[in-house]
Amino acid sequence: MNDTSLAELLPAARKLEEKIIGLRRRLHQYPELSLEEAETSAVIEALLEPLGLDVRRGVGGYGVIADLQGGKPGPLIALRADMDALPVQEETGLPFASRVPGRMHACGHDAHTAMLYGAAKLLVERRSELAGGVRFIFQAAEEVNEGARAIVEAGGMAGVDEIYGLHNSPTLPVGTVATRVGGMMGSVDRFSATIQGRGGHGAMPEQCVDPVVAASAIVLSLQTAVSRELSPFDPAVVTVGSIHGGNAYNVIPDRVEIEGTVRTFSARVRDQLPVMLGRLVGGVAEAHRCTAEVRYLRMVPALENREDNVCAVNRVTRLLLGENGLTEAAPVLAGEDFSVYLERVPGCFFWLGAGPQANADQAYGLHHPKYTIDEDCLAIGAAVLAAIPLYRGFAG
């Protein structure tokens, strides 16, 4: 597989564009939430079967895995797409908008699935030129950080040498790819705390132990966990996203529940934070005569790209999209459970431009009810995905 034949993948993907867009729109109309992707996985399976792939269904829930064996020996490269939608009411007004109330493909996983299907079509046509094999992983339940782990636990990564995946970015112009070596996305952990006081009359605080005041102090003191206890060179975020307590303006409630998330790039900091949080929440609660029960749930690690694999993505991007098609991604503390695969095998995750050239900064972001993509990115994404295993087999 030489550079010229790799570059031909883009025109070849354009020929499949109608099919890829058709699949994306079909999935877009019938979004399914995490852990409920029964129809979506059935649609994928029905499309993969006729391609002559070795298809496994129900891998770690609704995951679908399909293997393609190339014509020559070489590495087994996994390509992954996610399939789940979000509990969002779509407001795009598009003719193919969601037909399910309160459900929307607001993160573009419909597009990811369609692109991976397109890549499978392209690679099946080039099977004889492929050295090694390709495993197509259609993963469920990304939004709840469970799908990747379920695939791994079901043995879906057995034999895989490298893994690649993408996420669309509506704020990046279509025709571009962005990635980076090392930490690109943050770890995702979740905590909650119950602050227990003693309720009573709002006018007689001396007879009560007020958990609202304690919870307020706790929320503020959590911010100092980051600013005063961690190095400014170790980025971390502690966000309290939910506080619940009380139902009446003149009643001091018995308890307050708070819930939040913790993000960082550093495994060391990630291990430190549960201890810091426990100490701060417990200590501040006690200072206010309350008690606190803290629960901490580790979800997914930070996403770390390996240099060798980033180079492969950069190389095929330059071939397909030219020098201007490649930019370096800025790290973000948003999470992505692709990191669970990267804990086990080397690989690269990248952003695929899906936004309009002119007003990318006005685009509606991921998870917004008006989020849209420029469908021109679909053929591009399929071509880039297909090019990676062809290039890796060739280079290796």
Give the helix/strand (H/E) hosting 48.
helix 38-48
Q: Of 296 and 364, which CB lies nearer to Ni ion in the complex structure?
A: 364
Q: Of 40 and 194, which CB lies nearer to Ni ion in the complex structure?
A: 40
> 96-115: which residues touch Ni ion (CB under 5 A)?
107
Q: Alpha-carbon distance 50 to 66, whole Å?
A: 12
Q: Rounded to the nearest 10 degrees, how much is the dihedral formed by the CA atoms of 303, 306, 312, 317?
A: 40
Report how far apart, in Å, the C-alpha atoms of 394 and of each of 138, 317, 347 are: 25, 16, 17
**Nearest residue to Ni ion, scored by beta-carbon proximity:** 107
Q: Of 168 and 264, which CB lies nearer to Ni ion in the complex structure?
A: 168
Q: Of 219 and 373, which CB lies nearer to Ni ion in the complex structure?
A: 373
Closest separation in Å from C-beta 348 to Ni ion: 17
CB 231 within 8 Å of CB 240: no
Q: Of 107 and 262, which CB lies nearer to Ni ion in the complex structure?
A: 107
Q: Alpha-carbon distance 212 to 51, whole Å?
A: 60
Maximum C-alpha span of the chain = 81
Bridge partners (DSSP) of residue 177 are 326, 352
Instruction: For residue 303, state whether it binds Ni ion (rule: CB under 5 A).
Output: no
Closest separation in Å from C-beta 375 to Ni ion: 17
Closest separation in Å from C-beta 109 to Ni ion: 6
Query: Nearest 5 degrees, angle CA 322-CA 170-CA 137?
Result: 80
Closest separation in Å from C-beta 147 to Ni ion: 11
Closest separation in Å from C-beta 167 to Ni ion: 6
Q: Please give the single-letter amino acid code of residue 261.
A: T
Closest separation in Å from C-beta 26 to Ni ion: 19
Closest separation in Å from C-beta 142 to Ni ion: 6
Name the residue with tokens 């109608």.
Answer: 18
Q: Of 53 and 107, which CB lies nearer to Ni ion in the complex structure?
A: 107
Sign of the Cα torsion 31, 18, 369, 140 reads: positive
> How many residues belong to the site for Ni ion (CB under 5 A)?
1
Q: Alpha-carbon distance 32 to 12, whole Å?
A: 30
CB 300 within 8 Å of CB 335: yes
Q: Of 107 and 236, which CB lies nearer to Ni ion in the complex structure?
A: 107
Q: Of 33 and 213, which CB lies nearer to Ni ion in the complex structure?
A: 33
Closest separation in Å from C-beta 280 to Ni ion: 31
204: its two tokens: 């007689």
Name the residue with tokens 């040498």.
Answer: 161
Positions in the binding site for Ni ion (CB under 5 A): 107
